[in-house]
Structures are given as structure tokens and as C-alpha cells.
Chains A and B, each alone.
Chain A
Amino acid sequence: MTVTALTTKHIEVTSTPDDPIYIVSNDMSLCQDIVIDVRDTASAILILDSCQCNVTISIEDRSSCELIVYNFDNNSSRSTDMAFKATLGESSQFKFLQASCGAGISKSDVQVVFTKPHALSELRAVSILDGNDSVFVKTHMTHLVGECQGRQIVKSILNGNSVSEFNGGVYVAKGADLTDSSQSNENLLLSDNARAISQPQLEIHADDIKAAHGANVGQLDERHVFYLMSRGIPKREAELFLLQGFILELIDTVSNDSVKAYLKNRLVVSGASS
């Protein structure tokens, strides 16, 4: 039992740190309130290892924040419940990546609010699920003003009896013209009992906007498998390689090389379709 985990953690970033800032919870079972303020055009990478948390992020004008949350616990009895709310200033950036492998029961709720123009937000979530793992990702991007870009990409590889659910919300207020929003949810099912549920929810009150959304539930692309096989790679190796690529595509966007390498090492696909 630790006291620090109970109090609100307030992290204020006013200059760009050389290394990522790690936020580690001392006791996984306790809920933490974390407040992150990024100011003075700072650009910060924060890495969060916690399973019960409530994170409020405020990114000032021309500042940027990259938040990476990972969950690599193979203990499937564990459960995580996380909520994030980011408010973006003018020309600011928020990049969020959630990576899970053997996630147990995981719930995350990511909300982004655009309050001034020219901001960019990219939300990415990748999960490799097996057994009774279950991952629920809820997102909500609120465009109060126009000329902002919102990107959401959620990918899962599901084996065993695992379940993924994506509930992706986009709200574009009246007058928030030139909003550019896209949302994509891709799921690869490796077993008959795995399930993927995809629910895009778009509420648009402005006229001149772009809002793309798409969802895919299926197996590996046969054309890709054949291409690798035609170069001498056996089928099973080709499939594992492609599954790995499906996930790693999102990890490639991580700006810090050592963090990227760490995530790549931990996100390992062990099974392919039979």
C-alpha cells in the first residue's frame, strides 16, 4: 500500500525532455488520477504503465504530447480500466498509442476535445488477444472548432475465445468546417470462437468536412500470403510474419527508437490460423 498512488499526480512539462517520461504506478490495484499539462511549445513523450487510471491531459497551443500506454501482462485474470481526456490548443498535437498483448480484461476510454484550429490528434490501439482476453476501446473526438485533424486506428488479432470491441465516436459541432476525421477498425480473426464488434458513431453538424470510417473483420489477405510463399517462405511462417506486420505498422509511428524497439519485442504473435 503506497500513499503516492492515491494522490493526484501532476506532471507539468514546460520544456522538451530528452528522454521519455515514465509514469509507473506503485500498486497496480489502485486508481490513480494523473494530470498532464504540456506548455510552452514543449514536446513530450510519456509512457504509462498502470492499469487503473484517470488521466487528464491539457496541451497548450503549439505543444505536443505523445502518450504510450502498454499492457503486456500474460496474467489473464488481470483487468485494466483507463480513462483519458485530452484538450488540444491551437496547432497542438496529441498522439496516443495503446498496445496490449495478453490483456486479460481491458477497458479504455479516450476522449479528445479540439478547442482551437489546426490541431492534430492520432489515436492508435493494437491488441493481440487469445484465450478469454477481452479488450474494449471507446474513443470520442469532439471537434468544437474546424480545421483540425482526427485520426483513429484500432487493430486487433484475435485467437481463442477472445473478444474485441471498438466504439468510436466523432462529434463535429456546427460551424466546425474543414474538420478532417478518419477512423479505421481492423480485426483479424484466427479462430472460430473469437469475436470482433465494431461500432462507429458519427454525429456531424457542420457542412464542409471530411469524415471517413471503415471497419474490417476477416482473415489475412490471401494475396499477401501467396506473395510471401512465392518467394520461398513456408505458409505458416508467412502468416506469422504478416500478422506481426499488421500490428507493427502502428508501432512504426512511435517517434522514440528505443521505445519502438521495446514495443516490437513485446508484441509477439504466437499463433496463426489453422
Chain B
Amino acid sequence: MLSIQNLHVKTEGKEILKGLYLELAPGKVHAIMGPNGSGKSTLSKVLAGHPDYEVTSGSITFNGQDILDMDADERARHGIFMAFQYPVEIPGVNNASFLRMSYNAKRKHLGLPEVDPFEFELLLQEKAKLVKLGEGLLDRSVNDGFSGGEKKRNEILQMMLLEPHLVILDETDSGLDIDALRIVAESVNQFRAPDRSFLVITHYQRLLDYIVPDVVHVLADGEIVKTGDRFLVHELEERGYDWVRK
């Protein structure tokens, strides 16, 4: 599904990823853990196509297609979805209208007709219930005045609407209390499917107690320095990150 080979990435003149390799098979959940500044968020932004991150060498293929020449919108329509660590607030832009626009962009890409506002509203209400996002928040501006938990649930709602094949959760647990974390994790677990893969990026073990990964990677100083199964999470929690850095 996703193949990253020898990836080198620069931002603001500084090299952050220094030769990263990753293979993600369909249906799998991989966790990327690592200390602050190791390049975790850079990896998620590069996959999503953020223009501030420059790939200086290496390759990323998604379902056999090279995505490096694709802009962020094109990658999203091809099925890559990143749940933001800090979803931006966009005053004035209605959340439901934004979600419909995004949903229709995906439909158009698949050669399907766009849905009208009424039809979409029914779909949206159904999905919003799943992530326990109050209807009032759909009529507000995007993330405007949302609590930390509501913002993250709004991200998960978008994930459910767009039905991506690759989901990147960028430190989704940051700023979440335990109840919100559980709602988010349950939604993600329900959303697991044989043709869908997850990259769960996190600093802490907490989220991985709820979303159990198949494979765990440790990222340090721009490279993956250790790969293991889910038990590696507990080892990291006990021993910290220093012992894997050699």
C-alpha cells in the first residue's frame, strides 16, 4: 500500500528525515513512536503533501503510484488522509459546507455524481453520531471555538466521510482527555478494514492501548532505528527512548 524508500526531507533549510524506509501493507496498523524532534510530524506532513517540506531524495509510492509530484488535494482524493495534530480554526467557513465540498471532491474523483445538500445532511448526521459530535458543531465555522476533543472528533468525522485507504493519525492523542481518547480510538477501530492502513504517530503509549498496532517503529533523528511488535510499546514506556538510540 505505502512504500517509503530512503526518504530525505528538508524544511526551513534543515534536514529532518535522513533516509527513512517504511513498508505498510493493506489492513495493517503501524505505530511510529519517537522522542520530540525525531521527525514524526515531518513524516506525516510529507505524506500529506505539505508545501513547506521538501523531499531532497528518496521515494514515496502509494498503491504503486509515485505521489511526490501530487499536490495535497490530489493525494487526498487518491485516498491519503492525515488527521491533524492541531486542526486549524477557520472562522467564517461553515463546517457542514466544508465537509460537503470535500466529500463531493472525492465523489468527483471517483466519477460519481455530487450529492445535494439535503442528501449530504442525512449522511453527515449519521456519521456525526458515530463520533458523538453534536449537530450544533456542524453548523458552526470549521473548528471555531471547538474544544480539543471536538476538534479531534471532527477530524475523525472527516476520515469516516472520505473513506481513505491510508489514515495518518498525527499525535491525535495530544490534548485529549481519556473519554475523548476512547471515542476517537473506538471510531478508528471500527473503521479498520482489509483495504485500509493506518499510521499512528504518537509520543506516548496511551493511544496504543486503545488502537493496538501490528507493527511499532521507533523514529530517532530522522531514521527508523527499531521495529518490533506491539510489545515494543511497553518496553519503550518502561525504558524510555534512550536505549534504542544506541
Report which A residues bind B (CB closer than 8 A).
Answer: 221-224, 226-235, 237-238, 241-242, 244-250, 252
Contact = CB atoms under 8 A, between A and B. Distances in A.
B198 to A, nearest CB: 17
A264 to B, nearest CB: 10
Contact of B92 (A223, A226, A245): A245
A230 B49 contact: yes
Nearest to B80: A230
A242 B98 CA distance: 10
A273 to B, nearest CB: 15
8 contacts: A224-B88, A228-B101, A230-B49, A232-B76, A235-B73, A241-B98, A245-B94, A250-B92
A245 B97 CA distance: 11
A250 B142 CA distance: 15
B235 interface: no
B61 interface: no
A103 B81 CA distance: 42
A232 B162 contact: yes
B70 to A, nearest CB: 11
Given A226-B51, A231-B76, A231-B162, A245 B71 contact: no
Nearest to A237: B101
B90 A242 contact: yes
Main secondary structure of the interface of B (DSSP, over half): mixed
B109 interface: yes
Report the contact-size class of chain B (Cβ under 8 Å from the partner): 20 to 34
A224 B162 CA distance: 19
A168 B77 CA distance: 45
Contacts of A232: 73, 76-77, 102, 105-106, 109, 162
Interface in B48-106: 48-51, 71-73, 76-77, 81-82, 84, 87-88, 90-94, 98, 101-102, 105-106
Contacts of B162: 231-232
A229 B76 contact: yes
Contacts of B3: none
B92 to A, nearest CB: 3
Contacts of A247: 92
Contact of A228 (B77, B81, B98): B98
B158 interface: yes
A53 B103 CA distance: 47
A241 to B, nearest CB: 6
Interface string B170-196: 000000000000000000000000000
Nearest to B76: A232
A13 to B, nearest CB: 31
Contacts of A222: 51
A233 B98 CA distance: 9
A248 B49 CA distance: 29
B80 to A, nearest CB: 9
Contacts of B93: 224, 241-242, 244-245
Given A230-B82, A231-B73, A235-B73, 20 more contacts: A222-B51, A224-B90, A226-B72, A228-B98, A228-B102, A229-B73, A230-B73, A231-B105, A231-B158, A232-B73, A232-B77, A233-B73, A237-B101, A241-B101, A242-B90, A245-B91, A246-B92, A249-B141, A250-B92, A252-B92
Interface in B135-171: 141-142, 158, 162
A229 B76 CA distance: 8
Contact of B102 (A221, A233, A248): A233
A26 B91 CA distance: 38
Nearest to B109: A232
A226 B50 contact: yes
Contacts of B105: 231-234, 237
Contact of A248 (B71, B82, B87, B92): B92
A230 B72 contact: yes
A247 B91 CA distance: 10
A26 B106 CA distance: 50
Nearest to A246: B92
A227 B109 contact: no
A229 B92 contact: no
B92 A235 contact: no
A224 B93 CA distance: 10
A226 B51 CA distance: 8
A50 to B, nearest CB: 28
A75 B81 CA distance: 45
B90 A245 contact: yes
A185 to B, nearest CB: 16
Contacts of B87: 227
A7 B18 CA distance: 78
A245 B141 contact: yes
